[in-house]
Amino acid sequence: MRKLFLTLAVMAPAALFAQSPFDGTWKTNLDQAKFSPKPITFSVNNGMYDCSSCAPKIDVKADGQDQPVSGQAYDTIAVKEVNPHTISVVTKKNGKTSLEQTRTASDDGKTLTVKSTSHPPDSTQPVMSEATLERLGKAPAGANATSGSWRIKKVSEAENGLLETYKGSGTELTWSTPAGETWSATMDGKEYPVKGSNAFDTVSLKQINDNTIQASYKRGGQLIEVDKISISADGKKLTTVVESKLTGRISTFVADKQ
């Protein structure tokens, strides 16, 4: 859902790599996720798309054409009004499609369904997901019915977006997903490259305690996200608290060991 919500995780310190319970494959259980209550706010009105909850904010023409943006995980965004209750959004990075999305408001305007297909760079495995959001406050007058403030209630995602694998070797930890996202790093606070990701360029790892690790992600030299990842006492669950340093949104995800 990294991807909409999926997180990256890391392992225990170098001395514990050989026996670390972090080793193995984990699958995120979205039924146990706690999404940030902060609203997602955008509108399509008078031929313009405005996203005030985006960081940085986005204000472009909603004409279906690629519009340049800065500071995002993508270079361009194309927004099109399909009908009074539906819009489509396509983002690209380096000329390649990174996200295809359809947002549809219910007939009563109280629910928003967002269907997404994420395309990690150089991957042949797109990640599909669907999110359900509830409206907060009144719908803006005269705008497309998808417009307004929304709060995430439920998310489902294809299995290739839920699985992640960790493997320790000596002082090095390697992380990977079926969609081709990967990095290798050591627990020294230095920055290491993240490959196959549109969202991040580097990761740095830090030990908080015996069962908790902090992973900090940057893009273009800017700190984007900080994750705190903890292993349960029985070694069966991995809990990740994800904090966006751009929007202030904090969400929690739980993964089960496979």
pLDDT of residue 3: 42
Residue 157 has pLDDT above 80, yes or no: yes
Q: For residue 9, tell me if it sits in a domain.
A: no
- Pick the last residue of a domain from 133, 156, 179: 156
Residue 131 CA to its chain's centroid (Å):
12
What is the total count of domains within the chain?
Answer: 2
Q: For residue 140, tell me if it sits in a domain.
A: yes
pLDDT of residue 124: 83
Q: What is the pTM of this model?
A: 0.89
Q: For residue 180, tell me if it sits in a domain.
A: yes
Residue 16 has pLDDT above 50, yes or no: no
In this predicted model, what pLDDT tens digit does every residue of 209-237 receive, in sequence order?
878 889 999 999 999 999 999 999 999 99
The pLDDT of 22-33, averaged and rounded, is: 94
Does residue 21 have a cis bond before it (omega within 30 degrees)? no
Q: For residue 8, tell me if it sits in a domain.
A: no
pLDDT of residue 19: 55
In this predicted model, what pLDDT tens digit does every residue of 49-105 receive, in sequence order?
999 999 999 999 999 999 999 999 999 999 999 999 999 999 999 999 999 999 999
User: Contact at 8 Å (CB) between 116 and 101?
Assistant: yes
Residue 23 has pLDDT above 70, yes or no: yes
Tokens representing 114? 């967002």
**C-alpha pair distances (Å), 251 with each of 18, 56, 242:** 30, 20, 5
The pLDDT of 162-180, averaged and rounded, is: 86
The domain in which residue 238 lies consists of 14-35+160-257
**Is residue 11 very low, low, confident or very high in pLDDT (cuts 50, 70, 90)?**
very low
CA 211, CA 232: separation in Å to the nearest integer? 8
